[in-house]
Amino acid sequence: MNMIRRTLVAAAAAATLALPLAGFAQDIKPRLIRFGYGLNEQSNQGRAAKFFAEQVEKASGGKMKVRAIGAAALGPDVQMQQALIGGAQEMMVGSTATLVGITKEMALWDTPFLFNNAKEADAVLDGPIGQKVNAKLTEKGLVGLAYWENGFRNLTNSKRPITKLEDLNGVKLRVMQNNVYLDSFKTLGANAVPLPFSELFSALETNTVDGQENPYNTILSSKFFEVQKYLSITNHVYSPWIVLVSKKWWDGLSKDEQKVLADAAKASRDFERKDTREEAGKALADLKSKGMQINELSPTEAGRMRDKLTRVNAGIGAGIGMDLWQETQAELVRLRK
């Protein structure tokens, strides 16, 4: 071997050793990941999707590229879930509530007043119970990477402030496509109508429905204040989002590629929860300044609503299995000590 050749071989070997991303597809083309979501780019969901994309790009040295596509341009939650299962789309983030038709255990998170605060939600979602529920997705062709915060949900409508249970009578209220929500609001006396989120603004605008329920952040970012006069603070349920991957596609990734996505999902979860909570802390004042009339239910009325809603709990327990239900109740008791 002559001198030049030896130097070249050594240099090539050094370059290979220095390559930190040896487990990545060495094609010229980066892996393209379509990451769909339902809210707009200016929402907390949009900001976190962008953060996730940046993390993946950085950690993979540009070998994996996330195209975050918002405003349900790839379809509403339910449609994207099917695209992931079939392998036609790689990733998404959406409400756990819209997943219940696929994985019944997800209905646990729809239990009215399950969590008293975000700290409890984080502990249960990120702990063994959250993992157990998440793991159920794999039998259905989905991989869940992290729970993000959608948030505590509150009621808005165009008819009247909801100051007591009876005020909900006959209010045509959009709910997510989920039986627990449907039962809950029927139980409260509303005329509950399931609709995908992507159809909600126009349904409110055209008075097809009178009201809806979502966290402050969404009421703000989706400009529901333009078509809703009254916001009644109920905090009736804590709603998580979940970052999902197509299992069909995931199974074809290298271990290193899977790790990049899993790590980025965790980092985006921490970013998202912090960002969401900061925004929620200011949102009420923002919504007021946009002209919304805001009221808080009196403790007595909140209690009446709570009592009525706990009646749907038996159905949730039966649906998800009593073991999971009791384990969750026990964990909450432990956390509250």
Site residue total, ligand TK8 (CB under 6 A): 12
Binding ligand TK8 by CB under 6 A: which of 150, 157, 217, 268? 150
- Which residue, 134 or 239, is less far from ligand TK8 as judged by CB? 239
- Which residue, 136 or 153, is less far from ligand TK8 as judged by CB? 153
Binding ligand TK8 by CB under 6 A: which of 24, 35, 36, 38? 38
Sign of the torsion formed by the C-alpha atoms of 32, 37, 39 and 45:
negative
- Asked if 69 contacts 36 with a C-beta cutoff of 8 angstroms, the reply is yes
Segments of the chain assigned E as strands: 31-36, 64-69, 91-95, 142-152, 154-157, 172-175, 191-194, 211-214, 230-233, 238-246, 293-296
Q: Write out the binding residues for ligand TK8, residues 51-110 only, by CB under 6 A.
A: 77, 94-95, 98
- Which residue, 24 or 241, is less far from ligand TK8 as judged by CB? 241
- Asked if 169 contacts 256 with a C-beta cutoff of 8 angstroms, the reply is no
Max CA distance (Å), the chain: 92
- Which residue, 94 or 317, is less far from ligand TK8 as judged by CB? 94
- Asked if 268 interacts with ligand TK8 (CB under 6 A), we say no
| Angle made by CA atoms 111, 113, 117, in degrees to the nearest 5 | 120
Tokens describing residue 306:
């709570």
- Asked if 232 interacts with ligand TK8 (CB under 6 A), we say no
User: From the centroid of its chain, how far is CA 76?
Assistant: 13
Residue with tokens 């997800």: 106
- Which residue, 60 or 154, is less far from ligand TK8 as judged by CB? 154
- Asked if 149 interacts with ligand TK8 (CB under 6 A), we say no
Encoded one letter per residue, x for contact with ligand TK8 by CB under 6 A and - for no contact, window 175-214 reads -x--------------------x----------------x
**Binding region for ligand TK8 (CB under 6 A):** 38-39, 77, 94-95, 98, 150, 176, 197, 214, 218, 239
